Amino acid sequence: MTDTAVSFIYLSEPDAIEAGVTNMPACVEAMDKTLQLLQLGDFRMAGLEGNSHGAMVTFPPGHSYPNMPQDGPDRRFMAMPAYLGGEYDAAGMKWYGSNMANRDKGLPRSILMFMLNDKDTGAPLMLMSANLLSAYRTGAVPGVGAKYLATRDASTVAIIGPGVMGKTGLEAYAAVRDITSVRVLGRRIESSEAYRDWVFEKLPNIKEVVICDSLEEVVRGADIVHSGVSGPSGSAGYPHIRTEWLKPGAFVCSVANLKLDDELLKDPATGLFIDNVQMYHDWQEEYEYPVYETIGIIGCRFVDLVHDNLVPATSLVNIGDVALGTKPGRTSDDQIIVFSVGGMPIEDIAWGSEVYRTAKAQGIGVELPLWSVPALA
C-alpha cells in the first residue's frame, strides 16, 4: 500500500528569518557550491539549453483593456523554475510580481514567493515568503566573486545605490573580507543617511561610512565597487564609472545597471568574470543585439562586445571555473576585475533548500495538507 498523503510546510517571513534566511556567511558558502555545480553542469533552468533566467509577463503601453495593468517601471510578473543537483538535489520555482508604485503603498517593489519540490514526484515540500531569500542569495553571489577575485587586503567598499542590493552586497563583502570603510552614493541624501545608520547597526566592524555627492567621489580609492542601481533601459542613463577613477586592483561588481569605458573592457589586462555567460547569450538572443541597451547588467555589454568581435569569447570566465580551480582568477594585485551578476533560480533552490532543512529540523513553520488521497490519481 502506497502512502499517498502529501503535505508541505509554509514559512512566513518571520519563520524564514528564524530558519536562517539572513545568515549571510552561510549563504555565501551555498552560492559558492551552486556556482561550482553550474560549472559542472549539474543543473537545469528553463529554455531549450537550460540556461534561461525565467519567463516574464509584461504589459503593452497605452492599451485600452480596462482591467489589464498598464506598463510602468519594473511592472512585470515572473516565474523562475530550476533544478539543482549536488547536495541540494531538488526542483522549485520563484514567482513574483513587481511594480515600482508599490513603494507608494509602503510595500516592496517586488513581492516574492518560493516553492521547493521533490525532484521525482513534483510534490511540494515548502512554500515560503521569498523577499529575503532572493535578497540574500543575490547579495551573496558578489561575496563569492570577492572571495576569489578581490585583493586580499580589500577594506573599502563603494556602494552605488543604497537599497536592498546595496545592503546584502555589503554584508557579503564583510563576510569574506575585513571591510572597515564604506562610501555610499544614493539618489537622495535621506536614503544614504538611512543606509549609514543601517551599516553601523548591522556591521559594527565597519568604522566609517562616507556619504558622497558624485560617482567619481564614491569610486575613487575603493577596493570594491558595487553597483546596484536599477532604472530605465538605455546605456545613456546607466551610472558611468570612468576608468581613471578606479583604483589599481579594484574589484567592480554589477548586480544592476552599470556602464564602464569600453576601452577598459577591451583591454586584455582587465579580468572579465561572470556568473553564467550562457544566460547572457540567451538574453542576447531573446531581446536581440544589442542586449545591453535593454538589460543594463555589465555582462550584457561583455557579450555585445563579443558579438562585435571586440572581445574574444574566451575572455569571459565563469566564476565557477575559478572556484573549481580550472581557470585562474586575479593575476596581479593591480589588475582591475569586473564581475557581472545576473541572478539565477538555481540560487533560490540552493538557499531555499538550506532554509527548508533548518525549518524541518527545528519544527519551524506551519505544516499544510495537500491531500490524504488524491481525487484524480
- At 312-339, the pLDDT tens digits run 999 999 999 999 999 999 999 999 999 9
* Per-residue model confidence (pLDDT) at position 233: 84
Cell (9 digits) for 354:
538550506
pLDDT band at 2 (very low <50, low <70, confident <90, very high): low
Q: What are the respective helix, strand and coil percentages of the chain, to the nearest 5? A: 40, 25, 40
Cell (9 digits) for 222:
575603493
Cell (9 digits) for 252:
567592480
Is residue 303 predicted with pLDDT exceeding 90? yes
Cell (9 digits) for 78:
515572473
> Taking Cα atoms as reference points, which of 271, 272, 291 lies closest to residue 334?
271
* Mean pLDDT of all residues in 256-275: 98
The CATH number for 139-344, chosen from 3.50.50.60, 3.20.20.80, 3.30.70.20, 3.40.50.720, is 3.40.50.720
* Per-residue model confidence (pLDDT) at position 150: 98
CA–CA separation, 232 vs 213, rounded Å?
22
Q: Which residues contact 145 (CB under 8 A, 6 or more apart)?
A: 251, 253, 273, 319, 339, 341
Percent of the chain with pLDDT over 70: 99
Q: Which residues contact 213 (CB under 8 A, 6 or more apart)?
A: 185
- At 357-367, the pLDDT tens digits run 999 999 999 99
- Return the SS3 of 267: coil
* Mean pLDDT of all residues in 88-116: 95
- At 121-134, the pLDDT tens digits run 999 999 999 999 99
- At 214-250, the pLDDT tens digits run 999 999 999 999 999 887 889 999 999 999 999 999 9
Cell (9 digits) for 1:
500500500
Percent of the chain with pLDDT over 90: 96
Fold of 6-133+346-369: ornithine cyclodeaminase, domain 1 (3.30.1780)
- Write the DSSP assignment of 163-222 as a string of letters: SHHHHHHHHHHHHHS---EEEEE-SSHHHHHHHHHHHHHH-TT--EEEE-SSHHHHHTT-
pLDDT band at 73 (very low <50, low <70, confident <90, very high): confident
* Mean pLDDT of all residues in 75-81: 97
- E strand or H helix that includes residue 356: helix 345-362
pLDDT band at 1 (very low <50, low <70, confident <90, very high): very low
- E strand or H helix that includes residue 125: strand 124-129
> Taking Cα atoms as reference points, which of 20, 256, 9 lies closest to residue 132?
20
CA–CA separation, 30 vs 15, rounded Å?
20
CA–CA separation, 292 vs 301, rounded Å?
5
Mean of pLDDT over the chain: 96
Peptide bond into 374 cis (omega under 30): no
CA 230-233-237 angle, to 5 degrees, is 75
Find the DSSP H helices in 45-107. Answer: none
Rg from Cα positions in the chain: 21
- Return the SS3 of 137: helix
Cell (9 digits) for 2:
502506497
For the chain, what are the domain ranges? 6-133+346-369, 139-344
